[in-house]
Amino acid sequence: MVLGAGELLAIEEFNRENDLRKITVMNFLSKWRIFKNAIWHSQLYYAHVFDHEFRSLEYNESHRSKVRVLTNPFL
């Protein structure tokens, strides 16, 4: 997608220039929410930092016992 100007163009340029860091839309958020058609769902972005130590196999193997899964009793 080619964009003219503004924030979306900046995100596109950033993603093109960086192989190990990407900014993307949270496109899965509306599937998890009660109000699935809220406008703000498409306005949230997050960054993938692929070269962070948390993404390494060594880190995940050494911290596996510290991982906890939390549940939401209201859903």
Q: Return per-residue pLDDT of the chain as tens, 75 residues.
A: 555 678 889 999 999 999 999 999 887 776 766 777 777 777 888 898 888 887 777 777 777 766 666 787 776
Q: Which residues pair with 24 in a beta bridge?
A: 46
Task: Find the DSSP H helices in the chain.
Answer: 7-17, 29-32, 57-62
Domain presence at residue 71: no
How far apart are the C-alpha atoms of 17 and 19, rounded to whole Å?
7
How far apart are the C-alpha atoms of 54 and 70, rounded to whole Å?
19
- The pTM for the full model equals 0.59
SS3 category, 12: helix
Domain presence at residue 22: yes
Which of 69, 19, 25, 72 lies closest to 47 in space, CA to CA? Answer: 25
Q: What's the structural domain count of the chain?
A: 1
Domain presence at residue 1: no
Domain presence at residue 44: yes
**Range of the structural domain that residue 60 is part of:** 7-64
